[in-house]
Chain A
Amino acid sequence: MSEVLFIFTAGLGGVFVSMALLYASMRFTALILEKTNSAKAKGESR
C-alpha cells in the first residue's frame, strides 16, 4: 500500500513540479526576449 501511495504522490507531484518549471521557463524566456528586444529597439532609435 505504501509503495502505491508513494507512486501516486510522487507521480502527480512530479507532473506538477515539471509543469511549474516549464511555466517558469516560459515566463523567464518571454521576459528576457522582451528586455533584449526593447534594448535593441532603443539602440536603433538612437
Chain B
Amino acid sequence: MDSMLSVFKTSGIFSVTPGMLIMWAIGLTLIGLAIKKEYEPLLLLPIGFGILLANLPMTDLMKPEEGLLWRFYHFGIQWEIVPPLIFLGLGALTDFGPLLARPSLIFLGAGAQAGVYFTFFTAWLMGFDLKEAASIGIIGGADGPTTIFLCSKLAPHLLGSCAVAAYSYMALVPIIQPPIMKMLTTKEERMIRMKKSRKVSPQEKLLFPIVSVIIIILIVPASAPLMAMFMLGNLFREAKVVERLTHTAQNELMNIVTIFLGLPVGATMNAENFLQPGVIFIFCLGLFAFMLSTATGLLLAKLMNLFLKKENRINPLLGAAGVSAVPMAARVVHKVGSEADKKNYLLMYAMGPNVAGVIGTVIAAGIFLTLIAD
C-alpha cells in the first residue's frame, strides 16, 4: 500500500496547476481549430500539441540543455535553422511571374508594411519595450516564419504568443480582410479590370532571385538568413536543372521543418509565460496590425491610381494582398473582386503584391534587427 502511495506521489498528478489546465484548454482549442475548421492545420496542430506537452508537469521537456523540446527549440529556432529552411521551401514554391509582369505592384507589398510600423509605434506607446514592440508589429506582415525569426531574436518570451497570433490571423484572412476591403473601396473601384499582363521570359524569372538577393542583402544585411534561402529556393525552381532539389525543398524538407517549427514554438507557451495580461494586448495589437496592413495596402493602391492613366489603373483590392499570407490573401482579393464583377479574374494579378509582401516583411524584420538588436 505504501509503495503504491509513493508511486502515486511521484506522478505528476499532484503537480498540475490551474494555469496548466488553462493552457491544456488553449492547446486543445488550437488542435480542435486545426482539425475541425482546418485553420492553418500544418502549424496550429503541432503548436497546440506543443502547448499541451509543455504544460504537463514533471516532464522537463523544455528544461534547458536537457529537454527534448528545448533541443528542438534551441537548435532549430534559436540557431536560426528552421525559419530559413521554411523560406527555402517557400522560394521553391513561389512564382514571381505575376510580379515581374507588372513590377509596379511591388509597391503594394511595401504599402502593407506600414501596418507593421504603425503597430510597432502603438505597442511602444502602450508600454512594451522596443524589442517587444517590433516583435508584435511584425505580426501585421502576416508571415509566420518571419514573425518567429524576429521574435526569437528580439523577444523570445513573446515567441509563442506572437507566433500563435500570426498563424491565427493568417487563418482568419477570409474573415478579417473582406469587411476592410469593402469599407475602403467603392463598387466601381472593385470592378476595375486589370490591363492584360505581358509575357515574362524564363530568363527574367531566372535572373530575378540572383539580382534581388544581391540588392536586398546589400541594403539590409540582417535579412540575409531568410532572403538568401528564399531566393535560393526560387533559383532551384527557375533554373529547371535541379528538379530533385526543387521537389525536396517544396515537399519533404518543408514538411519536416514544419514539424520542428510548430512543436517547439508551442512548447515555449508555458502557463507562467503565457498567462500574463500582456498577452491579451499582443493578440489585440496583432489583429490591429493585420487590419492596418490590409488598409494601408489598399490605400496605397488608390493613391497609385491617382497618378496612373485610366487604362493602367490598379484594382485597389490588390493592395490587400500586400500582406504576405500566400496565397490566401490573393484568393480573398479574387473572391471580393468577383463579388462586384463575376468576370473580373484578379487571382493572378493579386499574386504579384502577395509575393512582394513576403519580401517586404522580411526587409521590415531585417530593418528592425539592424536598428534594435544589441
Indicate if the CB atoms of A33 and B201 lie closer than 8 Å: yes
Chain B nearest CB, measured from A11 CB (Å) = 5
Q: Which residue of A lies closest to B110 (CB)?
A: A19
24 A-B pairs whose Cβ atoms sit less than 8 Å apart in the complex: A4-B133, A7-B130, A7-B371, A7-B372, A8-B117, A10-B371, A11-B364, A14-B363, A15-B110, A15-B360, A15-B364, A18-B220, A20-B107, A21-B215, A21-B219, A22-B103, A22-B215, A23-B106, A26-B208, A29-B204, A30-B204, A33-B204, A33-B207, A37-B201
Residues of B within 8 A of A18 (CB): 110, 215-216, 219-220, 363
Chain B nearest CB, measured from A31 CB (Å) = 10
Q: Does B104 have its Cβ within 8 Å of any Cβ on chain A?
A: yes
Residues of B within 8 A of A27 (CB): 103
Chain B interface extent, by class:
35 or more
SS class, residues of chain B in contact with chain A: helix
A7 and B134 CA atoms in complex are apart in Å by 10
Indicate if the CB atoms of A14 and B103 lie closer than 8 Å: no
Q: Which residue of B lies closest to A28 (CB)?
A: B211
Indicate if the CB atoms of A14 and B219 lie closer than 8 Å: yes
> Which A1-46 residues have a C-beta within 8 angstroms of B?
3-4, 6-8, 10-12, 14-23, 25-27, 29-30, 33, 37
A10 and B372 CA atoms in complex are apart in Å by 12
Instruction: Fill in one digit per residue for B96-134: 1 if any A CB lies within 8 Å of its CB, else 0.
Output: 000110011011011001101100110010000010011
Using A25-B212, A33-B201 as known contacts, list a sample of 13 further A-B pairs with CB atoms less than 8 Å apart, ordered by residue number in A.
A4-B124, A7-B134, A14-B220, A15-B110, A16-B107, A18-B110, A18-B219, A19-B360, A22-B103, A22-B106, A26-B99, A26-B208, A30-B100
Residues of B within 8 A of A29 (CB): 204, 207-208, 211
Indicate if the CB atoms of B130 and A3 lie closer than 8 Å: yes
Indicate if the CB atoms of B215 and A25 lie closer than 8 Å: yes
Top 7 A-B residue pairs of the complex, sorted by shortest distance between their CB atoms: A26-B103, A19-B110, A11-B367, A14-B367, A12-B117, A15-B113, A15-B110
Q: Does B203 have its Cβ within 8 Å of any Cβ on chain A?
A: yes
Residues of A within 8 A of B204 (CB): 26, 29-30, 33
Residues of A within 8 A of B90 (CB): none
Q: Does B368 have its Cβ within 8 Å of any Cβ on chain A?
A: yes
Q: Does B359 have its Cβ within 8 Å of any Cβ on chain A?
A: yes
A15 and B61 CA atoms in complex are apart in Å by 40
Residues of A within 8 A of B110 (CB): 15-16, 18-19
Q: Does B356 have its Cβ within 8 Å of any Cβ on chain A?
A: yes
Indicate if the CB atoms of B207 and A17 lie closer than 8 Å: no
A37 and B134 CA atoms in complex are apart in Å by 46
For A10, A16, A17, A27, the residue with the greatest tally of chain B CB atoms inside 10 Å of its CB is A16
A6 and B367 CA atoms in complex are apart in Å by 12
Residues of B within 8 A of A19 (CB): 106-107, 109-110, 356, 359-360, 363
Q: Which residue of A lies closest to B104 (CB)?
A: A23
Instruction: Fill in one digit per residue for B124-153: 1 if any A CB lies within 8 Å of its CB, else 0.
Output: 100000100110000000000000000000
Q: Which residue of B lies closest to A36 (CB)?
A: B203
Instruction: Fill in one digit per residue for B345-357: 1 if any A CB lies within 8 Å of its CB, else 0.
Output: 0000000000010
Chain B nearest CB, measured from A14 CB (Å) = 5
Q: Which residue of B lies closest to A19 (CB)?
A: B110
Chain B nearest CB, measured from A12 CB (Å) = 5
Indicate if the CB atoms of A11 and B371 lie closer than 8 Å: yes
Q: Which residue of B lies closest to A7 (CB)?
A: B371
Residues of A within 8 A of B215 (CB): 18, 21-22, 25
A7 and B372 CA atoms in complex are apart in Å by 8
Chain A nearest CB, measured from B44 CB (Å) = 29
